[in-house]
Chain A
Amino acid sequence: MRKTASILALVISLMLLFNTSACFANEPSGELKIGLPTLYDQTFHPIWGTLYRRQYMEPMYDYIIGVDADGKYVSEQSVAYKWERTDDLLTWTFYIRKGIKFHNGDDLTNEDVRYTLEQAATKKNNAGSQSDFMEHIAKVETMAPDKVVVSLKKPWPTFINALTALNGAEGLIQPKKYIEEKGDDYFMSHPVGSGPYKFFEWKEGVHVKFVAQDTHWRVGTPKYKYLTFQLMPEEGSRDAALRVGELDIISVGMDRSKRLKKDGFVLQEKKDGLYVGLMWIQQFQSDFPINNKKVREALVYAIDKKTIVDYILAGSGRVVGTATSMFTWAIEYKPYPHTPYDPEKAKQLLTEAGFPKGFTMYLYSFVTKLPETKLINEAIASYWEAVGVKTKLLEMDYSAFKPVWTKKAEPPGPAAFILAWPNRPVYSWRHMYASDALYSHTKDPVMDQLIGDFESETSSEGYIEGARKIMDYVLENAYATGICTTHELHAMSKDVPVWEMGKGVGSYRWEYIGK
């Protein structure tokens, strides 16, 4: 009897010992489940598909240039541990870190970096900055043992930025050999990267799951063994799942976030994380009323931006005067006054432009990151109606809208759209406003000239000056208008340590949680 008891005691104490030691053991454990309203294309090729996919794709890859949470370049976090440029900004040399391996065991070499840059400069690049890369990159070469040399067609002062998490997905390094062997289609759903998390499982319409490497050159040992991104379109379901612990972090709207906070959940927001702006579709068509500057101005005057922020966004955000992201480094220092709400002036401008009875506008309505986008669209439609412009909302998904934007598919009439996009610090003027660029619906030779001047600047003062000129010109012509910024909200359980989400577009730094 006593013997049994003592054996039992021994076993129990051993178990306790084992348990505590497991707690301190230096390996990833547990699972972090993140509930998202959309997983977009559900593909994993860095540049085949929208850049918003980085929300779940990022932990699987490494950027050519790494940044910290404040957006500063950090060479210890970069695959290119060193980079140099010539004074004319035309030749850039990157030194590639040794010893990094892809998840399939292949070494990450300067060939992979070259491949990644070359791919970014093709029409296949669908991750946002296609026209920048195609405009600039002339040639990419590798030099033994670890160098990559990029020759540019014209100066590109923000080239480095374009290779980081601050800009898009182009900086994520693709495994050249693997893709060439298996093909891009296969790679899309069987991705291989070099990041701290490996691709583990994709269940279409259900979740994407990643598994941690025990140790990684950039992150060390990740806290969580599994990182799961659960697709839950309905906010109410995400809310419920968070409350019962089925999810640890959810993306959430303003309304619900307040209740969740009251109930003891932690809110983590990306301050001014989203920028909401209005743009025209095919403004260049001469038979569209919005081809007339006065009409565009009128439509901007007609919108009460402050009411939108105060009531639809519950005051969580601020009205902006710039026609593009606030953090655009070149113009950040100058507070742009915003166009005031003035419906009388709007009506007067419409009359002057020859539309006293108004006309019909179309407003594409789709939700990407901001659940309130729909309400904002409805508000704008009613403001426009109030000055006599009939407004029809075209509800669709972002993916369906995208061809309208990029391929210039014929709209049913003069149209506009609101986009809530991550408030990113650097912006490509070319690709928004140049006559022939992918995302541009402006055809204005003055604008093209300004963009050309800006791009050939080599001094940073000149660069800032050039950017300001473009911004002033855009505002003067009402080629676009900003509405506001707002905070991007996540609610999470108390057990998840708070971390810095960083400043990048769709970059969330999940792999740094608990680090």
Chain B
Amino acid sequence: MQRYIVIRFIQTVITLLILSIVIFTLVRMSGDPVLLMLPETATEEDYELMKSQLGLNKPVYQQYLIFLFDAVKGDFGKSIRTRKPVILSIKETLPNSIKLVTVAFVIGFALSIPLGIVAAVKKGTVWDNMARVVTGLGQSIPTFWVGLMLLQIFVVWLRILPASGMDTWQHYVMPATCLGIFLMSGVARLLRSSMLDVLDSEFVKMARIKGVRESVVIWKHALRNSLLSVVSFGGMYIAIMVTGAILVETVFAWPGFGRLAYAAIVNQDFPLIQGVVLTAGAVVMSANFFTDILYAYLDPRIRVQV
């Protein structure tokens, strides 16, 4: 297990290094990197200063090292538009998104596990069809629209939830549900199919032969194995959540990382794009790393070598 963690960790770091090299190369290839990093209003002095900061008069490998160490220190420079240090914007928004995504994950799993199980256990019945409709809708209705519906129902009609902001738990309900629904559909479907496979397996039959209660068969023997394939897609869900977060944060005016990323790209704010991409890369990679460890923890075939 330790060996496995170490190997996966090294792999993660290498992937991040590759990402940094790609970004570094892209910046150098797109003409004058100094111009990318400066606002339209920049002066000659600004230009010269930036040039020496980027180490452009040094050999390429040194330039990369400067870039890398700056990135590790969290120094991505200043936004072209707001002149605010990129790292500050990231520090302000990333935790908001992480909080939102965490709650969304909890909601998503709280919904999808029972849904996936019911659909699999009651395969071919009304329950299964209902679950299919729910997850189908969750996947096909644009998150955006779900958000607006939630707003209409809970804010305008029922008046029990606030429309925007993030100060109290009430503020989390709609955006996290919205994102959670998005997640729920995928997870529930995946869980249903892996659950069906597992329920058909010999060891489930064996458990029943032993006289194990059906509820225990499902929640102990079948679920744990089905979750394995769900967890193995963990990294994918994080990526999906990042996309979902942009939409949800827009609808609910949530000051998150998704919107920062979106703004960085549409504004072509290069220092910000650079910071956002590297941070997103690090977040997704470490999420992947942790899901792999979780997977190994759940699956002794990986954790325990023969």
Residue of B nearest to A399 (CB): B267
Compute how far the CA of A236 lies from the CA of B147 in the bound complex, rounded to whole angstroms. Answer: 9
Q: Are B156 and A400 in contact (CB under 8 A)?
A: no
Q: Are B82 and A188 in contact (CB under 8 A)?
A: yes
The listed residue (B40, B78, B260, B266) touching A397 by CB distance below 8 A is B266
CB distance from B166 to the nearest CB of A (A): 9
For chain A, the count of residues having a C-beta within 8 Å of the partner chain is 37
Inside 8 A of B93's CB, which chain A residues have their CB?
204-205
Inside 8 A of B268's CB, which chain A residues have their CB?
399-400, 403
Interface membership of B164, Cβ < 8 A: yes
Q: Are A232 and B253 in contact (CB under 8 A)?
A: yes
Q: Are B41 and A237 in contact (CB under 8 A)?
A: no
Interface membership of B56, Cβ < 8 A: no
Q: Are B83 and A188 in contact (CB under 8 A)?
A: yes
The listed residue (B251, B256, B266) touching A237 by CB distance below 8 A is B251
Compute how far the CA of A49 lies from the CA of B82 in the bound complex, rounded to whole angstroms. Answer: 9
**Contacts known (A230-B164, A236-B148, A397-B267); A206 close to B253, Cβ less than 8 A:** yes
Q: Are A205 and B148 in contact (CB under 8 A)?
A: no
Interface membership of A43, Cβ < 8 A: yes
What 1/0 mask marks residues of chain A from 28 to 53 whose CB sits below 8 Å from any chain B CB? 00000000000001110000110000
Q: Are A234 and B163 in contact (CB under 8 A)?
A: no
Residue of B nearest to A203 (CB): B255
Interface membership of A241, Cβ < 8 A: yes
Q: Within A419-458, which residues are at the interface with B (CB < 8 Å)?
A: none
Q: Are B253 and A233 in contact (CB under 8 A)?
A: yes
The listed residue (B81, B83, B151, B260) touching A240 by CB distance below 8 A is B151
**Contacts known (A42-B82, A204-B92, A244-B163); A237 close to B156, Cβ less than 8 A:** no
Tell me which of B92, B144, B155, B162 has the highest count of chain A C-beta atoms within 10 A of its own C-beta: B155
Q: Are B43 and A123 in contact (CB under 8 A)?
A: yes
The listed residue (B41, B151, B162, B255) touching A204 by CB distance below 8 A is B255
Q: Within A276-310, which residues are at the interface with B (CB < 8 Å)?
A: none
The listed residue (A125, A184, A188, A232) touching B164 by CB distance below 8 A is A232
Q: Are B41 and A240 in contact (CB under 8 A)?
A: no
Compute how far the CA of A185 lies from the CA of B83 in the bound complex, rounded to whole angstroms. Answer: 6
CB distance from A483 to the nearest CB of B (A): 24
**Contacts known (A231-B253, A237-B164); A205 close to B155, Cβ less than 8 A:** no
Inside 8 A of B260's CB, which chain A residues have their CB?
204-205
Inside 8 A of B251's CB, which chain A residues have their CB?
234, 236-237
Inside 8 A of A232's CB, which chain B residues have their CB?
164, 253
Interface membership of B252, Cβ < 8 A: yes
Residue of A nearest to B163 (CB): A241
**Contacts known (A237-B163, A244-B159, A244-B163); A396 close to B81, Cβ less than 8 A:** no
Majority-rule SS of A interface residues: loop
Q: Are B148 and A246 in contact (CB under 8 A)?
A: no
Compute how far the CA of A206 lies from the CA of B144 in the bound complex, rounded to whole angstroms. Answer: 19
Q: Are A126 and B266 in contact (CB under 8 A)?
A: no
Inside 8 A of A205's CB, which chain B residues have their CB?
93, 255-256, 259-260, 263
Residue of B nearest to A123 (CB): B41
Q: Are A185 and B78 in contact (CB under 8 A)?
A: yes
Compute how far the CA of A244 lies from the CA of B41 in the bound complex, rounded to whole angstroms. Answer: 42
Compute how far the CA of A43 lies from the CA of B164 in the bound complex, rounded to whole angstroms. Answer: 22
Interface membership of B139, Cβ < 8 A: no
Inside 8 A of B102's CB, which chain A residues have their CB?
none
Q: Are B78 and A241 in contact (CB under 8 A)?
A: no
Interface membership of B25, Cβ < 8 A: no
Interface membership of B208, Cβ < 8 A: no
What 1/0 mask marks residues of chain A from 396 to 411 whose CB sits below 8 Å from any chain B CB? 1101101100110000
For chain B, the count of residues having a C-beta within 8 Å of the partner chain is 36
Q: Are B152 and A396 in contact (CB under 8 A)?
A: no
Compute how far the CA of A244 lies from the CA of B163 in the bound complex, rounded to whole angstroms. Answer: 8
Interface membership of B84, Cβ < 8 A: yes
Interface membership of A85, Cβ < 8 A: no
CB distance from B171 to the nearest CB of A (A): 11
Inside 8 A of A41's CB, which chain B residues have their CB?
81-82
Q: Within B18-55, which residues are at the interface with A (CB < 8 Å)?
A: 39-41, 43
Q: Are A406 and B40 in contact (CB under 8 A)?
A: yes
Interface membership of A225, Cβ < 8 A: no
Compute how far the CA of A203 lies from the CA of B159 in the bound complex, rounded to whole angstroms. Answer: 26
Compute how far the CA of A123 lies from the CA of B41 in the bound complex, rounded to whole angstroms. Answer: 6
Compute how far the CA of A184 lies from the CA of B78 in the bound complex, rounded to whole angstroms. Answer: 13
Q: Are A237 and B40 in contact (CB under 8 A)?
A: no
Compute how far the CA of A234 lies from the CA of B145 in the bound complex, rounded to whole angstroms. Answer: 11
**Contacts known (A204-B255, A236-B151); A189 close to B250, Cβ less than 8 A:** no
Inside 8 A of A189's CB, which chain B residues have their CB?
82-84
Q: Are B250 and A204 in contact (CB under 8 A)?
A: no
Q: Within A232-262, which residues are at the interface with B (CB < 8 Å)?
A: 232-234, 236-237, 240-241, 243-244, 246
Known: A48-B41, A237-B164, A244-B155. 6 other contacts (CB 8 A): A124-B41, A126-B40, A233-B259, A234-B253, A241-B164, A243-B155
25 contacts between A and B (CB under 8 A): A41-B81, A41-B82, A48-B39, A48-B41, A49-B81, A126-B41, A184-B83, A188-B82, A189-B84, A203-B92, A203-B255, A204-B82, A204-B84, A205-B260, A232-B164, A234-B144, A234-B148, A236-B147, A237-B147, A237-B148, A237-B252, A240-B155, A240-B156, A246-B163, A397-B267
Interface residues of A (CB under 8 A from B): 41-43, 48-49, 123-126, 184-185, 188-189, 203-206, 230-234, 236-237, 240-241, 243-244, 246, 396-397, 399-400, 402-403, 406-407
**In the A-B complex, the 4 residue pairs with the closest CB atoms:** A397-B266, A241-B163, A399-B267, A240-B151
